[in-house]
Structure 1
Amino acid sequence: MFLGLGAPELIFILIVVLVIFGPKNLPKLGKSFGQTVKGIREGMEGEDKPAKADATAESKPAEDVVVEHVDADDEDAPAAAEGKKFCGSCGAENPADNKFCKSCGAKLD
């Protein structure tokens, strides 16, 4: 049972779709439907997280970062001493165990 529809109803719907679109156009229809579902899911995630395709298209090369030695006793130590990583693409702060940036999805070194 799928969305309140039984087997006879689903078979009837499939036959109608086959008659309307024809067997040659069903793969195109399936691909289009899949892309639509993917777009809806990405849209539901919100504007907080850009889509992976957008993030890679807009990504810029990482700039060289100079890390200075920090003593463990220094209370004003940067986040790197606290076990955090910064993204080379967007500069977002990430936990040390992350392999990818939580903001833009770029791979962390």
Structure 2
Amino acid sequence: MFGISPMQLIIILVIVLLLFGTKKLRGLGGDLGSALKGFKKAISDDDKDEDADFAAKEKVADKSTAAEKTTQNKTSEQKERN
């Protein structure tokens, strides 16, 4: 009912080309491509950051438990000396 025929699409593209010019459209296409590339990179970096954050939290937790054990050992040694 409201479909666009190939001839109408060509006419629309010619009008857009005449209004904006090839340089402007080329720059717009390049900007759009750069934006999509940056978006994809940000999404993939975000996934990696979440994994890195999880691993870092595990390491911090392991270090804190090791520090607690060391502190407990020192306090028990001090009690034995007294």
TM-score by length of 2: 0.39
TM-score by length of 1: 0.32
Structure holding more helix per residue: 2
Q: Which has the higher contact order (CA 8 A, sep 6+)?
A: 1
Whose radius of gyration is greater, 1 or 2?
A: 2
Structure holding more strand per residue: 1
